[in-house]
């Protein structure tokens, strides 16, 4: 699949399987999500541009490499996206963070925006949108539609799990947005849940069910 990066590192796959278990506690689920998110951060930042920087070691001066350009922005789709932020920020502590609040209308499954807050100078930044589940794709598409109006340098989308329907929808609307995921599950059910999936990610992260 074009522009889809399946992160099949053994540590990622192992942790994801533990998270899927229905008897995983809230704290176990959250811990695993943190660990998994930092591993996914390595993959999504793999092609970040570097610049040469002079550095004085205790012994001599050398030319080292540092990340070039304005700070990356992680954009969390509320609320489940927040579960991914901590792990990502542990690897990229200087990143900026934006939030998009979208809820799914239970009848239409269409996203409704209730919050949008981004850092300054978005036109000079690379964006990584985070949301654990790319299911119908409706929220992801709405978030990308909105973010593209700010003319960022690039947009990537990171999730834990997706399904063929979610990938097809996001790619149809935004073929330029690369998708990073730890798994592509079998299908979407009629309630907009991924099968076999891991249930409602927000409820599992925050213990609300
Ligand atoms: N959102 C979730 O939390 N889980 C799904 O399976 C689909 C969307």
DSSP 5: E
Predicted pLDDT of residue 76 = 97
Note the pLDDT tens digit of each residue in 6-56. Answer: 999 999 999 999 999 999 999 999 999 999 999 999 999 999 999 999 999
Whether the Cβ atoms of residue 103 and residue 79 lie closer than 8 Å to each other: no
140 CB within 6 A, ligand 1? no
- 28, 31, 104, 146: the active-site residue: 104
Note the pLDDT tens digit of each residue in 164-176. Answer: 999 999 999 999 9
DSSP 201: H
CA 178 to CA 68: how far, in whole Å? 20
- Tell me whether residue 46 is one of the annotated catalytic residues: no
Pairing state of beta strands 161-162 and 133-134? parallel
Write the DSSP string, 151-183: --SEEEEE-SEE-HHHHHHHHHH-TTSEEEESE
Note the pLDDT tens digit of each residue in 102-150. Answer: 887 878 877 889 999 999 999 999 999 999 999 999 999 999 999 999 9
Atom number of ligand 1 nearest to Cα 197: 6
Give the domains, in start order, of the chain with CATH numbers.
4-47+68-206 (3.40.50.2020)
CA 193 to CA 197: how far, in whole Å? 7
> CB-side exposure of 33: number of CA atoms within 13 Å?
29
CA 51 to CA 65: how far, in whole Å? 6
Mutate to test the pocket of ligand 1, among 83, 130, 133 (most ligand atoms within 8 A of CB): 133
- 31, 45, 146, 203: the active-site residue: 203
Distances (CA, A) of 142 to 25, 69, 117, 179: 32, 27, 15, 15
- Tell me whether residue 203 is one of the annotated catalytic residues: yes
CA 55 to CA 159: how far, in whole Å? 36
Distances (CA, A) of 163 to 49, 104, 159: 30, 18, 11
CA 156 to CA 94: how far, in whole Å? 18
Return the HEC string of 82-129.
HHHHHHHHHHCCCCEEEEEEEEECCCCCCEEEEEEECCCCHHHCEEEE
pTM above 0.85, yes or no: yes
135 CB within 6 A, ligand 1? yes
Containing H/E element for 28? helix 26-44
Q: Hey, is 138 helix, strand or coil?
A: helix
133 CB within 6 A, ligand 1? yes
Note the pLDDT tens digit of each residue in 53-93. Answer: 999 999 999 999 999 878 899 999 999 999 999 999 999 99
């Amino acid at each position: 699949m074009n522009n889809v990066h399946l992160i099949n590192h053994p540590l990622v796959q192992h942790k994801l399987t533990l998270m899927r278990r229905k008897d995983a506690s809230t704290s176990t689920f959250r811990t695993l999500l943190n660990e998994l998110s930092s591993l996914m951060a390595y993959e999504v930042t793999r092609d970040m541009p570097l610049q040469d920087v002079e550095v004085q070691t205790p012994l001599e001066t050398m030319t080292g490499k540092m990340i070039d350009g304005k700070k990356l922005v992680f954009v969390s789709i509320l609320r489940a996206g927040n579960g991914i932020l901590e792990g990502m920020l542990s690897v990229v502590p200087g990143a900026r963070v934006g939030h998009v609040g979208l809820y799914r209308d239970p009848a239409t499954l269409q996203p409704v925006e209730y919050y949008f807050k981004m850092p300054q100078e978005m036109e000079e930044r690379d964006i990584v949108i985070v949301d654990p589940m790319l299911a119908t794709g409706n929220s992801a598409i709405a978030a990308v539609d909105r973010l593209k109006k700010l003319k960022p340098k690039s947009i990537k989308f990171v999730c834990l799990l997706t399904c063929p329907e979610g990938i097809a929808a996001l790619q149809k609307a935004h073929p330029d947005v690369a998708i990073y995921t730890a798994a592509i599950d079998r299908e979407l059910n009629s309630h907009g849940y991924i099968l076999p999936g891991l249930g409602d990610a927000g409820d599992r992260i925050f213990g609300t069910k």
